[in-house]
């Protein structure tokens, strides 16, 4: 992982997780350091002082929590435009690891706090971002609390497609940037089950798997049925 000081075109120049409008903010950008993290590198570790906020520029990352006995859980995947480290706590409660080679910008938390105080547009933007993150985390709670393995996988695939091209009516396909173990730890299951369900969906002609990490939606409607969306 390398870090060097550099101003960047603009904070939030990419679509944020909330899908909000872009906010150009040279005032924060000047404090950001660009960080390159290779696949599987830990960008921040659980327990470190939460002194920075991180914005994903390219690549993909996973937010990881570990139980003392080694059980692992992934609370979310981060894609370009997403943020990590918006917390009120003094330490990070979870680790951030690169799923693929990644470009990040790291801002001192102080700079962000200043920005939030002085720039009302940015303030509002981050507020919405947090609200959206909360809503999507609650969606995941429902998924883990009440859905079975097929429903989880269906929901996951559709959510990935939605993030790749927001608002698209009929998703065509998605690339799985992460490996099976990551999917399993995100959905609260095992690699074996993830694999089994994927082949089941393939044999039911609902999806196709031309390569291991490319999923083609053959029957997006059937997938949507399967994910047991909220009433």
Does 48 interact with a second copy (rule: CB under 8 A)?
Answer: no
Q: Which is nearer to a second copy, 58 or 118 (CB)?
A: 118
Cα–Cα distance for residue pair 228/96, rounded to 1 Å: 30
CA atoms within 13 A on the CB side of 185: 19
Write out the H or E segment, with its range, that includes residue 139.
helix 120-146
Cα–Cα distance for residue pair 217/212, rounded to 1 Å: 14
Does 188 interact with a second copy (rule: CB under 8 A)?
Answer: yes
Binding partner of 181, given DNA, a second copy, none, CB within 5-8 angstroms per partner class = DNA
| Shortest Å distance, C-beta 147 to a second copy | 8
Binding partner of 135, given DNA, a second copy, none, CB within 5-8 angstroms per partner class = a second copy
Taking a C-beta distance cutoff of 8 angstroms, is the pair 46, 94 a contact? yes
| Shortest Å distance, C-beta 203 to DNA | 8
186-to-87, 91, 93, 94, 143 alpha-carbon distances in Å: 21, 22, 16, 14, 11
Segment 169-228, which members bind DNA (CB under 7 A)? 179-181, 188-196, 198-199, 209, 211-213
| Shortest Å distance, C-beta 181 to a second copy | 13
User: For residue 212, what are the β-bridge partners?
Assistant: none
Binding partner of 230, given DNA, a second copy, none, CB within 5-8 angstroms per partner class = a second copy
List contacts with DNA (CB under 7 A).
148-150, 179-181, 188-196, 198-199, 209, 211-213
């Amino acid at each position: 992982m390398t870090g060097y000081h550099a101003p960047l075109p603009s904070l939030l120049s990419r679509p944020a997780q909330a899908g909000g409008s872009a906010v150009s903010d040279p005032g924060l950008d000047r404090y950001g350091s660009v960080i390159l993290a290779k696949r599987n590198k830990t960008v921040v570790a659980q327990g470190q002082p939460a002194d920075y906020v991180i914005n994903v520029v390219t690549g993909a990352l996973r937010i990881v929590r570990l139980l003392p006995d080694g059980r692992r859980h992934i609370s979310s995947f981060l894609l370009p435009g997403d943020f990590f480290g918006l917390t009120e706590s003094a330490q990070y409660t979870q680790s951030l690891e690169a799923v693929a080679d990644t470009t990040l910008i790291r801002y001192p938390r102080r700079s962000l706090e200043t920005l939030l105080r002085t720039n009302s547009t940015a303030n509002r933007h981050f507020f919405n971002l947090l609200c959206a993150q909360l809503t999507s985390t609650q969606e995941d709670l429902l998924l883990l609390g009440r859905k079975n393995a097929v429903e989880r996988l269906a929901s996951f695939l559709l959510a990935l497609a939605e993030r790749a091209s927001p608002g698209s009516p009929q998703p065509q396909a998605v690339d799985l940037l992460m490996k099976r173990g990551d999917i399993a730890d995100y959905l609260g299951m095992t690699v074996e089950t993830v694999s089994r369900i994927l082949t089941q969906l393939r044999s039911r002609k609902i999806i196709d798997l031309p390569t291991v990490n490319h999923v083609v939606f053959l029957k997006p409607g059937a997938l949507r049925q399967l994910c047991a969306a909220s009433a």
